[in-house]
Amino acid sequence: MSVYYYEGAKILAPLTITSNEPMFDVDTVSLKKQRATQNAQRWEVSFGVIAEPSTQVDLFISSVDNLDTVTTMIMPQLTEVDKLNTLTHTSTAVDGSYSAGVNVVGISAATTTGLLPKGSFIKFSNHGKVYVTTSDTTFTSGSANVNIYPSLRTSITSSDFVRTGSECLFTYLRSIDQQTGITFTDGVLASVGTIDLIEAL
């Protein structure tokens, strides 16, 4: 299982990854359900960390300063995805041009082999949005189609690359709803409470 870090501190389980996609739900006179969205979605990540002496200062500073600064970290993958992922690649490029709004993207597999399991977080080199794969994709040769959620937010071309695993960086702002600073127990153990990160779109 991979270990993920925030400001140099190990992220603890439980880790919460939430898809925030506003949706409107209406019952018609004939009792049919109708749902509509504004085609907007962002990821929100919440977790605790181990605040060791070597990371206390950075954690404290991150809780009080530069809260309006967009930052990045490796997007944590689900435990089962980490176990199943056998993807090896030296260069994984998009195999054509795809317009915003599509849910399937072709990926060149010339130098890529293995399984990219459903539930893998990925992103593309020309924009910061993180996507999740919705089906297993096996790479052998040629190209493979990858199903993604949400739909593509920015058009991509064959000059763009796919970022997976440790290359999939989550671009975020820290939530200011529950700012707690830092607390100490016996002057040694430190906690910054729950850290809530919001994808910066």
Domains and CATH numbers, the chain: 1-71+171-201 (no CATH), 76-167 (2.40.30.290)
Distances (CA, A) of 192 to 13, 63, 132: 15, 8, 29
User: Sorting pLDDT into bands at 50, 70 and 90, what band is 191?
Assistant: low
Q: Residue 180: which pLDDT band, with cuts at 50, 70 and 90?
A: low
What radius of gyration do the chain's Cα atoms show?
Answer: 19
pLDDT for residue 193? 74
Question: Could you tell me if 146 and 105 are in contact, meaning their C-beta atoms sit under 8 angstroms apart?
Answer: yes
> Among 35-49, 76-90, 119-133, 170-184, where is mean pLDDT lowest?
170-184
Can you point out the beta strands (E) in the chain? 5-6, 9-20, 23-27, 33-37, 42-49, 71-74, 88-89, 104-108, 112-116, 121-124, 130-133, 137-139, 143-149, 162-164, 169-174, 183-185, 189-191, 195-199
Structure confidence by residue, pLDDT tens digits, 21-48? 988 888 888 888 888 878 889 999 998 8
pLDDT value at position 59?
74
- Three-state secondary structure string covering 10-35: EEEEEEEEEEECCEEEEECCCCCEEE
pLDDT in tens, 129-159: 999 999 999 888 767 899 999 999 999 998 9
E strands in 55-142: 71-74, 88-89, 104-108, 112-116, 121-124, 130-133, 137-139
Instruction: State the DSSP H helix or E strand holding residue 93, giving kind and residue range, or none if neither.
Output: none
The two three-digit tokens of residue 81, written as one number: 């995805």
No. of H helices and E strands in the chain?
Answer: 2, 18
Q: How far is the C-alpha of 63 from the C-alpha of 67, rounded, in Å?
A: 8
pLDDT at 7: 82
Provide the token pair at 133.
Answer: 């794969």
State yes or no: pLDDT of 176 exceeds 80: no
**Which of the pair, 186 or 144, is modelled with greater confidence?**
144
Instruction: For residues 2-23, give the mean pLDDT.
Output: 87
Helix (H) or strand (E) holding 40: none
**Measured distance between the N- and C-terminal CA atoms of the chain, rounded to whole angstroms:** 29
- Render pLDDT for 50-81 as a digit per residue (tens, 0 to 9): 777 677 777 777 777 777 889 899 999 988 88
Q: What is the mean pLDDT of residues 123-134?
A: 95
Report the DSSP beta bridge partners of residue 89.
Answer: 112
Distance of CA 92 to the CA centre of its chain: 18
- Say if residue 168's pLDDT is above 80: yes
CA distance 40 to 22: 7
| Amino acid 99: pLDDT | 95
Q: Higher pLDDT residue, 41 or 177?
A: 41
Per-residue pLDDT of 86-101, as tens digits, reads 887 756 888 889 999 9
